[in-house]
Structure 1
Amino acid sequence: MAIRLPLVVANWKLNGDSQLLTEMVNNIQQLDADNVEAVLCPPFVYLNEDTQDVKKGAQTIAIQDSGAFTGEISGRMLRDVGCQYVIVGHSERRSLFNETNEIVAKKVLSTLAAGLIPIICIGETDEQRENGETTAVITEQVKAVLDVLPNYSDSIVFAYEPVWAIGTGKTATGDQAEEIHAMIRKTLAGYSQELADLTRILYGGSVKAENSEELFSKENIDGGLIGGASLDVEAFRNICKNAVA
């Protein structure tokens, strides 16, 4: 079985400031990078700040590389300020900004073209879950991306974030999350066994220090995409510790 380095990503959304970024960097740079990879994704305006050896990522990316697209940020620009990762297709981007599977796939290609690693968010709504559509929805989201990739050697990350568990206080149990992660990995294996073995699949959905240890203990869960808890320095550090390989 392939060894996948655990990855914990802080998605600050529309929150945070320079002081919090400095405090977070000072706390998590002491983590052993050989055992866990931590990534900070603050709002765009803070991406140019020095995060020392702590990796950083953007919360979204433009499809276009340049042009008359007011307010957009390209992959080239993100790479220029030291980003290594980009969150693509977060459920809030899908629901609030109408990002379809097709748009998400194009953004993944833009991310890879810039030499960055996409963290591709997938997940079902509460209504879809209640209607028994979880497998169909997630499989479609995964395939929409994989079907446009020129090859499967590019480094990509998937993040399963059940929409019904984001910011609601609800969370999937370790076993529930593992079941979906195993299904996602099986879908990847349908394209390439190497892709399935090497691709990290994160869990996101009200992850806290208290439940992260159980979630991260599962075979197919390779870390987390952390929302609210990533704004608490100590909580995020403890989550990273619980993900240590």
Structure 2
Amino acid sequence: MEEGGEKEEFCFTAIYISGRWPEPSVCSDLQRVDPCAMAPSRKFFVGGNWKMNGRKKCLGELICTLNAAKLPADTEVVCAPPTAYIDFARQKRHIFGESDELIGQKVNHALSEGLGVIACIGEKLDEREAGITEKVVFEQTKAIADNVKDWCKVVLAYEPVWAIGTGKTATPQQAQEVHEKLRGWLKCNVSEGVAQCTRIIYGGSVTGATCKELASQPDVDGFLVGGASLKPEFVDIINAKQ
């Protein structure tokens, strides 16, 4: 691909700045160990969702900046590049009208092809105001869980729709409440081992100013970051748990 006459020498898929998905053998071991005897071990996860922002050269420079930054070894960092630079486009539940069931099938297909999945769930503003947040996110999670056998490569991202790109952020208490209930749902409907080890991250206008208190919540295992992942403050967000 060429930009302004300059040939680009790299391409994007998902970009792993640090860390890696757990090996399949780890998940197999989880199934053989008494879940009650296991201590929770969830590596902090920060995803940068670049959407359609940035030219290839600029994003390459951003990757170099992140690689050169002082980042914690116990935090996994993944960046999702613009769709123009990968071979498939992301789905939009509310814009394209994709059902929970179809999204669950997409999760299954991605896992079957060896990919890691960040599965996004979340309620709209009218659903929160109607008091049905739990019902909505539980139904969305069930559609995903019905299609997952190996949870090692799955990260759940709670993204309240009303807080995406609006500048509004769920309070740390609101985020923790939903994350805790999602973990409880996994315990009751999948297994205690999966509930303990699955990372549930928060997405929804996370910034350098809001990340510390959100990261301090016991069931918030990281972030899915939009606009702030294209700014220097992304390093602060990655270090939020420190």
Q: Please say whether Structure 1 and Structure 2 have the same fold, judged by a TM-score greater than 0.5.
A: yes
Structure 1 segment 24-63 matched on structure 2, within 5 A: 24-29=62-67, 30-32=69-71, 34-47=73-86, 60=90
**What is the rounded CA distance, in whole Å, between the counterparts of 1:34 and 1:211 in structure 2?**
22
What's the secondary structure of 1:9's corresponding residue? Answer: strand
Match of 1:174 in 2: 172
Match of 1:6 in 2: 44
- Whether 1:130 aligns to 2:169 is no
Unaligned residue ranges in structure 2 (runs of 5+): 1-38
**What is the rounded CA distance, in whole Å, between the counterparts of 1:109 and 1:166 in structure 2?**
25
**What is the rounded CA distance, in whole Å, between the counterparts of 1:59 and 1:205 in structure 2?**
21
TM superposition shift of 1:152: 4.4
Match of 2:56 in 1: 18
On the 8 A contact 1:6/1:37 being kept in 2, the answer is yes
The count of residues paired between Structure 1 and Structure 2 equals: 202
| More displaced stretch, 93-102 vs 122-131 | 93-102
Cα deviation per residue 1:94-121 (whole Å; 9 max; x = unaligned)?
0112221011101101110111111000
- Whether 1:164 aligns to 2:203 is no
Higher Cα Rg: structure 1 or 2?
2
Match of 2:27 in 1: none
**What is the rounded CA distance, in whole Å, between the counterparts of 2:187 and 2:155 in structure 1?**
14
Unaligned residue ranges in structure 1 (runs of 5+): 49-57, 61-88
Identity %: 41
On the 8 A contact 1:209/1:239 being kept in 2, the answer is yes
What's the secondary structure of 2:43's corresponding residue? Answer: coil
- When normalised by structure 2's length, the TM-score is 0.78
2:240 counterpart letter in structure 1: N
The ranges of structure 1 where at least 4 consecutive aligned residues each deviate by more than 4 angstroms after the TM superposition are none
**What is the rounded CA distance, in whole Å, between the counterparts of 2:77 and 2:152 in structure 1?**
20
What's the secondary structure of 1:242's corresponding residue? Answer: coil
**What is the rounded CA distance, in whole Å, between the counterparts of 1:182 and 1:158 in structure 2?**
12
What's the secondary structure of 1:210's corresponding residue? Answer: coil
- When normalised by structure 1's length, the TM-score is 0.77
